[in-house]
Chains A and B, each alone.
Chain A
Amino acid sequence: SAVISQKPSRDICQRGTSLTIQCQVDSQVTMMFWYRQQPGQSLTLIATANQGSEATYESGFVIDKFPISRPNLTFSTLTVSNMSPEDSSIYLCSVRGDSDGYTFGSGTRLTVV
């Protein structure tokens, strides 16, 4: 299965600023997904990022707030823009590999103060 390197692992940010999270995969994958896990909650899908096309956002998430880049088949970034304390969460990337195996990054724990 694919191995994902996600950075940063954690950050504390000032409100109103932006943070970009990176995910690097050790193999080429078509589909990448970005999830948010709010404190004590389950994972909620933010968007699906396919290389060569615009990301598809889920209801409640917009591109201006969570712009995503997918420049190639091994890399993607998620930016959390104009942050507020409500954005404090764990953000995870995920890829769909062979045989419908899904691998997850180790997560980025974001605290907005």
Chain B
Amino acid sequence: AQSVAQPEDQVNVAEGNPLTVKCTYSVSGNPYLFWYVQYPNRGLQFLLKYITGDNLVKGSYGFEAEFNKSQTSFHLKKPSALVSDSALYFCAVRLDTGRRALTFGSGTRLQVQP
């Protein structure tokens, strides 16, 4: 079985400050990890993914995430938050074999204050 945990329902950060949205995973195998963002009344937009290789992954809109195998984490980060980053963020996982569908975390609402 595979699962993803996003321990924070909401993260508040001031504009210009660094942000971190946490994600931990549980799989019995090699994980493929993803981050998506959802704006109100919109579908999911892809931010970045980790398949293999460099543990630090850079994605869209200045976001990055670091794959940490020992801590089974894949936290999303951005050096300087923008008000427009305020949205709902989902971490997702799948195995490198078998079932191809993504399993999503519960989501974290990011609120960036001006």
Contacts and interface: CB of A to CB of B under 8 A. Distances in A.
Interface of A: 1, 6, 31, 33, 41-45, 48, 92, 94, 96, 99-107, 109
B101 A33 contact: yes
Given A42-B105, A43-B90, A102-B34, A96 B46 contact: no
B7 to A, nearest CB: 14
Interface string B71-108: 00000000000000000001000000001111111110
A31 B100 CA distance: 8
A44 B3 CA distance: 12
B56 interface: no
Interface of B: 32, 34, 36, 41-44, 46, 49, 51, 90, 99-107
Contact of A102 (B46, B106, B107): B46
A101 B104 contact: no
A104 B100 contact: no
